Structure 1
Amino acid sequence: MTDNTHPKNNCINLSLWKNIATQRTDSVGSTLFNIGVFSSMNRLNGLGLNILSSMTGKDANGVQVAGLSNMVGGSMRGVQVAGITNINGNNLTGLSVAGLVSITGNHARGVIASGLANISGDHTRGIFISGLLNVSGEGASGMLFSGLANVAGGSFKGLSGAGLLNVVGKNLAGMQLSALANITAEEVTGVQISGLGNVVGGTLRGLQIGTANMATRAKGVQIGLFNYYKESLDGFQLGLVNANPQTKVQLMLFGGNATKLNAGARFKNRLFYTILGGGTHYLDFDDKFSASLFYRAGLELPLCKQLFVSGDLGYQHIETFKNKDYGIPARLYALQARVNLEYHLTERLGVFLTGGYGGSRYYNKGVTYDKGAIVEGGVVLLKW
């Protein structure tokens, strides 16, 4: 009979159930080859094959394959494959594949793939792939791919791609890609791309692309429908609405021959501005109610202290409502160009005159409905 208590002992472990095995579980030796239904051993230095589960009290070096779960109390170096879960109390180095969940208490290095979630401690390195969720602690790096979300509790270096959400608790150096949102609590050095929003709690040094982009400080580029940063470190914004410390939000009230009564909000930076607004009665007052929404972007230059000249290009969506019953298109769009002359009467009030040209067209066919000169005039509330 072999002495299983010797530290250098290696043996073969054949088991049918937890309490039936050729190696005692309190042995300080190690197992070279294990095959069974449900096995429990001290150390594994070789191959373990189990129909249900494999439990190793200390370290495992080699290959563990189980129908349900593999559990290692210490560190695992090698390959783990389980139908449901792989659990390692300390470190993992190698390949871990689980049907549902992989859990590593401390460091994980290698490739980890699970159907549901991967959870690891600090200083994760490698490639993590999960159906729903990847969670890591401080100092993670590598590539994270998940169907739902990636969450790094500390800083992260590398590529993080998720079906919905990426979250980094500290700094990001690399790239975040998501369908919904990317959130980094402190600094970003790299790229954030999302379908809805990107948020940086500290400094952005790189690129944000999304419907809405927000950062506390920006030394990079924001591209989206709405862009905002609180403090400028030489940032650049390209979008429908751009807001930063230099942005002035001004209310415009005006009338004209294109849409008779209009109101808009102008987001004005040092030179460039955008205007969002709406108007009523694209058709004549004699007709039934019609309305429009418009967006304009342009450049303004001072002629003297209180006099300014500007030019912009605009897009207008037009709804004619019940007028469609009288042969008028239900909706149209218009492309317009304007030149504006603005005079500031006080610090709070200005007046302006506009001249331009535009044409409205059908959405469903390349035909012009109406075109002609644009004449408008109104007031702008510079501070309100």
Structure 2
Amino acid sequence: MDVINSVKSISISCLLYGLVFSLLIHTSSNAQQSKNQSISINFENVNTIQALEQISAISDFNLSYNPDVIQVHQNINKSYSNTPIELVLNDLLGNQIELKYRGSYIIIQRVQPAIQTKNKFKIAGDIKDAETGETIKGVTVYEVNKLNSTLSDDRGNFELSVSAKSDYVTFAVSRANYKDTIIRVPKELNFNRELYLNPVTDKPEKKITFFKDVEAKLKEIETKKLVQFFTSKKERENSKNIGLIEEKDFQFSFIPSIGTNMQMGGQIKNRYSFNLLAGYSYGLSVFELGGLYNIDRKEVAGLQIAGFGNAVGEIVKGTQVAGFINTNKSYTAGMQLSGFLNVVADDMKGIQLSGFNNISENTTGSQITGFINISSKKMQGLQLAGFTNIAADLEGAQISGFYNKAKEMDGFQLAGFVNHAKTVKGIQLSVVNIADSVASGATIGLFNFVKKGLHQLSLSHNDVTDVNLEFRGGSNAFYSILSSGIQIREDYIWSYGLGFGRQYKIVKSFFSNIELSSHVLSSKSSSFENMNLLNKLNLNFGYQFAPHLSLNMGPTLNIYVSNALNEDTQEYGYDIVKNPVFSKKYDSSGLSIWLGYSASLKF
């Protein structure tokens, strides 16, 4: 009697000896559907086979079955509304039938009673392209129940043997970009024949540039050197050929390919996964623990803990803890905690905490590390690093021991040495601040360089030093001042100092400045051990004659502190005080306060 297989197109094929059947699936082998897909369907006076045909026509699955194992009922009148397809099939077929989900198709087979002795099954042959007749290498052939597998060699040849306590076993033949084939082998048959795989012809044409193609390949987790080190070529070929084939509650492995999922670990999603050294799975839904390295090709939800590292190919929702490195190729929501490095090659929402380096694209949350944080696109939240923080756009705060960089900055930058941003909306606080422009806020530091801001040179004269050269850099809201000057009278006193100020616009060409600065005074006869500190509070008024020329003048409040005792006069400091409003001599220093003046030309 012929063995018949029904698929979406509901074709019936009679195969070798009438004992083997083959299924050609009209999708690529990597397609995968949800076993929880719900359907709505109404049956009116149909038999079981007709009902299966109608289900196959409206669902995303391809149904594979032998009518000989189906108990056919007549005059079925049932209606299902938004019901999982598994429940519909179980209701129609009864409890003597079991369902096997393999990618985009469902294998319907009879529940086989256990027998005392194991039967040996063997399948062999060579695989060719049905259109060109050329041999196909790297084809995965696997037994659908126990997951034993093999690959066709360079000449397309393959051979696979299994033992099972059943009267028949079912093998699947899968290759990327080809339609799948299913073969059922009874115990009496030694299967050895040529197999022809039909290429998938209904794929939409894709226009892929060279660079996008390279980027897509880099997104594949199998391109990582560490993943290639821990996995075999056979496992990686299986992953190219086959999508998700099963979900299991538990798996244990010593290393990839030596464990309960054997060479097919990359096609199985686990709830709980335990890897003595390393493991390789399709995905995870609850918990995974690895002595060294956990590798999951697709989505992970839950908690991963590894002595060395975790690597995930797609979305992560949960927590990853690793002694050295966490690497995710897609969107991550949750926490990454590692001793050295966390990498998300996509968006990150949550916390990255590492000993050395955190990397992500768009980041919402926090990056905390001992050395450097990098958010290659937008950072919304906090970057805290011992050395450097880098973000393309920042909405939040960057705090580092040495250097912060952002393109568009809306928030706060605090660095031990340098802050760098293109556009500042907020506050930069560091020794050196660099920006293209300040839209709002201020750059606060000893050296402020704003490309589209304030950068002025000025020549000035005041009541203490005759000639001064000054540089102002920053923005009108806040700028820093570097100055040096000399008194060419008497002892040739010179000064150098730092300060900061703010400029206010009064009317069209009139403005005012308020500045606070501190200057160290010295002369040929002074000692570096002496303190001569002149502090100034200036209130200047200016007039802009031209775009780069203004005249400024105004009063100055001088506060002079010195511990250098003049042996001749028994006074502290240089003879620069004129008409003090306050003067007092202490045990080892003197303080004088008086009003002075300043005038300058700014360029």
| Residue equivalent to 1:235 | 440
Distance 1:66 1:329, change over 3 A: same
Query: Does residue 601 of structure 2 align to residue 380 of structure 1?
Result: yes
Query: Does residue 454 of structure 2 align to residue 248 of structure 1?
Result: yes
Three-state SS of the structure 2 residue aligned to 1:61 is strand
Distance 1:368 1:98, change over 3 A: farther
Per-residue deviation at 1:333?
4.5
Query: Does residue 268 of structure 2 align to residue 59 of structure 1?
Result: yes
Contact 1:310 1:339 in 2 (8 A): yes
| Aligned equivalents of 2:454, 2:532: Cα separation in 1 | 31
| Aligned equivalents of 1:366, 1:158: Cα separation in 2 | 56
Matched AA of 2:558: Y
TM-score normalized by the length of structure 2? 0.48
Per-residue deviation at 1:62?
4.0
Distance 1:269 1:47, change over 3 A: closer
Q: Unpaired runs of 5+ in structure 1?
A: 11-21, 29-37
Matched AA of 1:311: I
Three-state SS of the structure 1 residue aligned to 2:377 is coil
| Residue equivalent to 1:115 | 323
Contact 2:380 2:396 in 1 (8 A): yes
Query: Does residue 300 of structure 2 align to residue 92 of structure 1?
Result: yes
Contact 2:501 2:513 in 1 (8 A): no
Per-residue deviation at 1:313?
1.8
| Residue equivalent to 1:371 | 592
Matched AA of 1:293: G
Query: Does residue 402 of structure 2 align to residue 196 of structure 1?
Result: yes
Matches within 5 A, 1:318-357: 323-324=526-527, 329-331=529-531, 333-344=533-544, 346-353=546-553, 354-357=555-558
| Aligned equivalents of 1:236, 1:2: Cα separation in 2 | 79
Matched AA of 1:336: K
Three-state SS of the structure 1 residue aligned to 2:317 is strand
| Bigger helix fraction | 2
Moved more, 209-218 or 104-113: 209-218
| Residue equivalent to 1:296 | 500
| Aligned equivalents of 1:283, 1:94: Cα separation in 2 | 76
Contact 2:422 2:436 in 1 (8 A): yes
Query: Does residue 391 of structure 2 align to residue 170 of structure 1?
Result: no
Pick from 499, 515, 527 the counterpart of residue 312 of structure 1. 515
Distance 1:196 1:320, change over 3 A: farther
| Aligned equivalents of 2:351, 2:342: Cα separation in 1 | 10
Distance 1:320 1:130, change over 3 A: farther
Contact 1:319 1:331 in 2 (8 A): no
Matched AA of 1:148: F
Pick from 365, 374, 398 the counterpart of residue 158 of structure 1. 365
| Residue equivalent to 1:279 | 484
| Residue equivalent to 1:19 | none
Per-residue deviation at 1:119?
0.7
Larger Rg: 2
| Bigger strand fraction | 1
Contact 2:443 2:479 in 1 (8 A): no
Matched AA of 2:401: G
What per-residue deviation string (whole Å, max 9, x for no partner) do you get for residues 35-59 of structure 1? Answer: xxx9x99986325274997563432
| Residue equivalent to 2:17 | none
Matched AA of 1:173: Q
Pick from 528, 542, 561 the counterpart of residue 360 of structure 1. 561
| Residue equivalent to 1:71 | 280
Contact 2:517 2:536 in 1 (8 A): yes
What per-residue deviation string (whole Å, max 9, x for no partner) do you get for residues 70-102 of structure 1? Answer: 232x22333332332222222322222222222
| Residue equivalent to 1:128 | 336
Per-residue deviation at 1:6?
7.1
TM-score normalized by the length of structure 1? 0.72
Contact 2:272 2:284 in 1 (8 A): no
Contact 1:258 1:374 in 2 (8 A): no
What per-residue deviation string (whole Å, max 9, x for no partner) do you get for residues 211-239 of structure 1? Answer: 54444344x3123135455456x521151
Distance 1:269 1:106, change over 3 A: closer
Per-residue deviation at 1:145?
0.8
Matched AA of 1:48: F
Query: Does residue 473 of structure 2 align to residue 267 of structure 1?
Result: yes
Per-residue deviation at 1:63?
3.7
What per-residue deviation string (whole Å, max 9, x for no partner) do you get for residues 141-188 of structure 1? Answer: 221111222111x32222221222222222223332223332222x43
Per-residue deviation at 1:127?
0.6
Per-residue deviation at 1:345?
5.3
Distance 1:344 1:51, change over 3 A: closer
Contact 2:254 2:278 in 1 (8 A): no
Pick from 21, 43, 46 the counterpart of residue 250 of structure 2. 46
Three-state SS of the structure 2 residue aligned to 1:329 is coil
Q: Unpaired runs of 5+ in structure 2?
A: 1-116, 122-141, 148-162, 165-169, 173-229, 236-244, 564-585
Contact 1:62 1:79 in 2 (8 A): yes
Three-state SS of the structure 1 residue aligned to 2:526 is helix
Matched AA of 1:349: L
Matched AA of 1:310: N
Per-residue deviation at 1:265?
1.0
Distance 1:308 1:171, change over 3 A: closer
Per-residue deviation at 1:136?
0.7
Matched AA of 1:193: I
Three-state SS of the structure 2 residue aligned to 1:235 is strand
Identity among equivalent positions (%) equals 19
| Residue equivalent to 2:95 | none
Contact 1:227 1:237 in 2 (8 A): no
RMSD: 4.2
Distance 1:321 1:196, change over 3 A: farther
Pick from 423, 426, 442 the counterpart of residue 221 of structure 1. 426
